[in-house]
Amino acid sequence: MPSYLDKQQSAFAGSLASAASKISNPTVAAPAKASAASSLAPPSPSPSAASDTNTTPKAKSKYAQVYSQPEATGTGTEVRTNMAYAVEKLKDKGTTMTAEELEGFLSLGRFSEQHKEDLMAGLRKHPRVEWKADPKVSEQTWRTGTYTYLPIIPGVKDKQSLLAHLQKKRDASGLSVRDLKDGWPKCDQALEELERIHKILVFRTKKDNLPRAIWLDDPSLHHHVNPEFVTMWHRTPIPSIDDMHRKLVSVGQKPTSEDPRLAAAASAKPKVQKKRAGKRVGKTTNVHMAHLMKDYNTGRLG
């Protein structure tokens, strides 16, 4: 009679045999998955085709065009890109440039004539570019004329033009330094010099102490104060708000601010919340019978 170990050995051998049969005979679903994956992947050449040296270049380039990234054929995108480079160049240079100079800067030799014509036509319509026609030529083409960058604040290039622009302002708003640098990038030193002689007022950032906005200043309003008087001024104790308000009222002066004691009392007073009216539940019916339900006992004589 077989022992327990013999039974376990025979059962293990049977499981190995069944597993081997499944591996050697795959199911029908496996080829279907393989075919689906092979339909998505590019066809791989056979060993004979790979070793064939007489394969034509046309057959090789066919797969390269289908399965590689497409070539950059966006003509409109290239025109807008070159236009952005041209505007940035005009802004940095700060002078007038011709179409030939822009063509050399952008290296447009490999582009077609239509591309160059579209580029110059777009620059002439750009809101930050000014195009001036060539007066010596009767018929203007894309090669004629000059191009100049138009800054946000035009005509401000030095201290005199900046002061003149500030004097022409009709409102009290400050002039943005960021807009000023759009046409005058290196204006920091000039702003410091004008601030030192009290020609302009400069508002600076707290973190980096960089100029953010400027206003026109008047040097005649600045007077020298004795340092000893400044020291005495800072040594003088400042009365509290309550004492200042009380002293002003005692001499018949009206304080510019409200009495802080009244404001504190008003804030300390508890707020009474209003009760919301309860919502009416139900709907009135039998309105047409209201005259029948009238009480006539109130008018009866005793």
Q: In this predicted model, what pLDDT tens digit does every residue of 149-176 receive, in sequence order?
A: 999 998 898 999 999 999 999 998 999 9
Q: Rounded to the nearest 5°, which phi and psi values hold at 129?
A: -130, 135
Q: Is residue 118's pLDDT more than 80?
A: yes
Q: Which of 211, 127, 121 is nearest to 162 (CA)?
A: 211
d(CA 88, CA 129): 10
Most confident of 115-119, 237-241, 269-273: 115-119
Q: What is the pLDDT of residues 224-251, one digit of tens each?
A: 899 999 999 989 888 888 888 888 888 9
Instruction: Please tell me whether the overall predicted TM-score, pTM, comes out greater than 0.75 for this model.
Output: no
Radius of gyration of the chain (CA): 45
Q: Is residue 42's pLDDT more than 60?
A: no
Write down the pLDDT at residue 165.
Answer: 95
Q: Is residue 271's pLDDT more than 80?
A: no
Write out the H or E segment, with its range, that includes residue 204.
strand 200-204
Structure tokens at 59: 């057959």
Q: Is residue 21's pLDDT more than 70?
A: no
Write down the pLDDT at residue 229.
Answer: 92
Query: Tokens 């160059």 belong to which residue?
Result: 116
Q: Hey, where are the domains in the chain?
A: 75-149, 159-221
Query: For residues 152 and 175, is the Cβ–Cβ distance under 8 A?
Result: no
Q: Is residue 29's pLDDT more than 60?
A: no
Share of the chain above pLDDT 90, in %: 30
Query: Tokens 């025109």 belong to which residue?
Result: 79
**Lowest mean pLDDT, pick from 148-162, 194-208, 265-279:** 265-279
Q: What is the pLDDT of residues 139-152, one digit of tens each?
A: 889 889 999 999 99
The residues, any chain, with a CB within 8 Å of residue 116's CB and separated by 6 or more, are 99, 103, 108, 142
| Residue 2 binned pLDDT confidence (cut-offs 50, 70, 90) | low
Query: For residues 63 and 42, is the Cβ–Cβ distance under 8 A?
Result: yes
Q: CATH number of 75-149: 1.20.140, 1.10.10, 2.40.10, 3.30.160?
A: 1.10.10
DSSP secondary structure letter of residue 210: -
